[in-house]
Amino acid sequence: MATLQSGTIEAIKKNQAPLLAQWTANLEASGATRNLKDQDLKQQTTDFLQLIVSGLNDGNGLNVASAGWDDIRLFLEKLSRSRALLGHDSSQTANFILSLKGPLFALLQNHYQDSPAQLAEQVWEISELLDTLGMHTIRTFQKSREEVIKRQQEELLELSTPVVKLWDGVLALPMIGTLDSQRTQVVMESLLQRIVETGSEIAIIDITGVPTVDTLVAQHLLKTVTAIRLMGADCIISGVRPQIAQTIVHLGLDLQGVVTKANLADALKLALTRLGMTISKAN
């Protein structure tokens, strides 16, 4: 099995400065430096090349899954996460490594110009090493990107279900869009937390912005109402339009004694009445 020769490793060690210069130029030409500060790019390229040299110099072989390559794998994982947060795609991230191939191949071509067989062998080994590291980077990037997307989705869900304090002791949760299992969980957590924080006695769930109500949506609403009641608060559902009322009747859904109102104003009026308050026009 072919391996990197000591002459290859020495050539890389002695020519790090020109390698870094050409590598950086390749990265800039390919657009892989978008949103990157010059100082950060310089630090990352320098660190990566030094890790390559250290890994090869310590006799770790070319198996990047071995313990001897732990540092470079950790470096690439951090790099991938940072690239995902910057909005780079997987090709830009992988190109950070693959752009090093050109400068390394040129270096080896000059070093082994009198030995075509050795040149071919060493170019192949270097290419295999960088390809493997590139694949590791892509896998890590995809995982990091999925985590970023998941977090953004959770944040959007939270933003789309704001809990509003309408009055002392009265909270309102206006629902807009489709109500699914994941969103129901976010609704429950947000609303229950606000009930604890404010000591509110009544929570109004306004479904004016919910396009349709089917069996699944009704079940989600009932779960939320049950959770609210377990916290010692009452719940009123507002925004029950004629179409939704007809759908509920047609589906034979039982809202189990849940108080419903046609609009948020009526629900607030009822909530205030339950709190022993009345609203009157000023004379």
Tens-of-pLDDT digits for all 283 residues of the chain? 457 788 898 999 999 999 999 999 988 888 778 788 889 899 999 999 999 988 887 766 678 888 888 899 999 988 888 888 788 888 888 889 999 999 999 999 999 999 999 999 999 999 999 999 988 888 888 888 777 777 766 665 555 568 888 889 999 988 877 777 667 777 778 888 899 999 999 999 998 888 877 777 777 778 888 888 898 999 999 988 887 778 778 877 766 678 889 899 999 999 999 998 877 777 6
**Full residue range of the structural domain in which residue 119 is found:** 6-153
Q: Are residues 255 and 218 in the same domain?
A: yes
> Tell me, what's the pLDDT at 1?
40
How far apart (Å, rounded) are the C-alpha atoms in residues 262 and 112?
83
Q: Does residue 279 belong to any structural domain of this protein?
A: no
What is the structure's pLDDT at 170?
Answer: 94
- Contact of 279 with 246, CB cutoff 8 Å: no
Listing DSSP states for 223-262 in one string gives HHHHHHHHTT-EEEEE---HHHHHHHHHHT---TT-EEES
Residues shown for the chain:
283
Per the structure, the count of domains in the chain is 2
Looking at the structure, do residues 125 and 176 belong to the same domain, yes or no? Answer: no
Is residue 1 domain-resident? no
pLDDT of res. 208: 87
Rounded CA separation 105/35 (Å): 28
CA dihedral 261, 263, 268, 274 (to 10 degrees): -10
Instruction: DSSP letter for 212, please.
Output: -
Say which CATH number the domain at 106 has.
1.10.490
CA terminus-to-terminus distance, the chain:
97
Shared domain check, 132 and 63: yes
The residue among 124, 153, 182 that closes a domain is 153
Measured between alpha carbons, how far is 6 from 57 in angstroms, rounded to an integer?
Answer: 8
Please identify, among 153, 179, 202, the residue that sits at the C-terminal boundary of a domain.
153
> What's the pTM?
0.55
Domain identity same for 220 and 269: yes
Of 122, 153, 184, the position where a domain reaches its end is 153
Domain membership flag for residue 281:
no
Amino acid identity of 163?
A: V
DSSP string, 89-149: -HHHHHHHHHTTHHHHHHHHHHHTTT-HHHHHHHHHHHHHHHHHHHHHHHHHHHHHHHHHH
Domain assignment of residue 25, yes or no: yes
In this structure, the answer to whether residues 245 and 190 fall within a common structural domain is: yes
Q: Kindly state whether residue 282 falls inside one of the protein's structural domains.
A: no
Same domain, yes or no, for 188 and 116?
Answer: no
